[in-house]
């Protein structure tokens, strides 16, 4: 049950790029057995080659997180191969460009499916296992984008706000079962997802973000952790701005 022989067993969803890939790299270097899931199989293969000589191990499956029917099989396979699970991180997310006059339902629903639907599908699987084995850590990636309803990204922000509530519920529900649920709220991270945005505010690299995320996952101090931490005061200020002012600003 507990990791006696191995350093630990982790599953990262959205492992092929950005923060997900950075998390995989770091965990494998630390000696973890890591399972990775992403839509693009070739990126996973490349990552596996890159990590071949590291301390831990990396196994992977190509899977589209919107395929809720397939998810239990993929989860089962990977957890069996890992020999159990201690840490689960859902890092898949999309943030397509949304124009100021755009109301594209198709695009918005696809975003909900990946960011929210996929997350619930996968996190439920991990939550059920952790609940029944009375142990484990779940890391959910929210965002400062979920703090306020911004003009620029109505649905992206809404999915992240929904996730914050979902993870909070899981945290409270699973506390009795000794399962830890950490909500990470990244600020602006340099990843492929944000590459098309100009003028990132206080950006940090995906590697730095991954290191912070793992620190939060292991620490006891934060249930909700801004990454990097300096976003915490910024976030508090932004959340305090009254609505009538907020709508005149673009932050």
Active site residues: 156
156/80 Cα distance (integer angstroms): 34
75 lies in the site for other proteins, by CB under 8 A: yes
Q: Map residues 80-109 to x or -, x wherever contact with other proteins holds by CB under 8 A.
A: x---x------xxxxxxx------x-xx-x
Are 97 and 108 in contact by the 8 Å Cβ rule? The answer is no
Task: Give the helix/strand (H/E) hosting 81.
Answer: helix 71-82
Applying CB under 8 A, the span of 26-34, 117-125, 227-235, 239-247 interacting with other proteins comes to 117-125
Which residues does 181 contact at the CB level (< 8 Å), separation at least 6? Answer: 137, 138, 139, 140, 167, 170, 171, 174, 223
Applying CB under 8 A, the span of 52-60, 131-139, 212-220, 222-230 interacting with other proteins comes to 131-139
Helix boundaries (H) for 147-205:
154-175
CA distances to 23, 94, 198 from 205, rounded to whole Å, are 12, 18, 15
Considering the complex, what minimum distance in angstroms separates the CB of residue 238 from other proteins?
23
With contacts defined by CB under 8 A, how many residues of the chain interact with other proteins? 55
Closer to other proteins at the Cβ: 32 or 75?
Answer: 75
Whether a cis peptide bond, with omega within 30° of 0, leads into 228 is yes
Residues at the interface with other proteins (CB under 8 A) = 1-2, 14, 16-20, 38-39, 64, 66-69, 71-72, 75-76, 79-80, 84, 91-97, 104, 106-107, 109-111, 113-114, 117-118, 121, 125, 128-129, 131-135, 178, 191-196
């Amino acid at each position: 049950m507990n990791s006696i022989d191995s350093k630990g067993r982790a599953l990262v969803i959205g492992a092929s790029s950005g923060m997900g890939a950075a998390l995989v790299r770091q965990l494998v270097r630390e000696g973890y057995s890591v399972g990775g899931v992403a839509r693009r199989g070739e990126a996973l293969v490349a990552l596996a080659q890159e990590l071949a000589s590291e301390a831990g191990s990396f196994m992977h499956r190509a899977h589209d997180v919107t395929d809720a029917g397939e998810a239990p099989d993929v989860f089962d396979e990977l957890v069996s191969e890992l020999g159990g699970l201690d840490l689960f991180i859902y890092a898949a997310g999309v943030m397509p460009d949304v124009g100021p006059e755009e109301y594209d339902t198709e695009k918005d629903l696809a975003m909900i499916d990946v960011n929210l639907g996929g997350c619930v599908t996968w996190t439920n699987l991990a939550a059920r296992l952790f609940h029944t084995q009375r142990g484990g850590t779940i890391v959910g990636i929210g965002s400062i984008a979920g703090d306020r309803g911004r003009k620029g990204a109505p649905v992206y922000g809404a999915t992240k706000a929904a996730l914050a509530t979902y993870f909070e519920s899981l945290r409270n529900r699973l506390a009795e079962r000794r399962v830890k649920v950490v909500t990470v709220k990244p600020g602006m991270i340099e990843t492929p997802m944000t590459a098309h945005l100009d003028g990132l505010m206080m950006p940090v690299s995906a590697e730095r973000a991954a290191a912070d995320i793992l620190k939060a996952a292991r620490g006891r101090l934060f249930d909700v952790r801004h990454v990097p931490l300096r976003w915490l005061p910024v976030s508090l200020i932004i959340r305090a701005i009254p609505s009538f002012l907020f709508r005149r600003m673009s932050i």
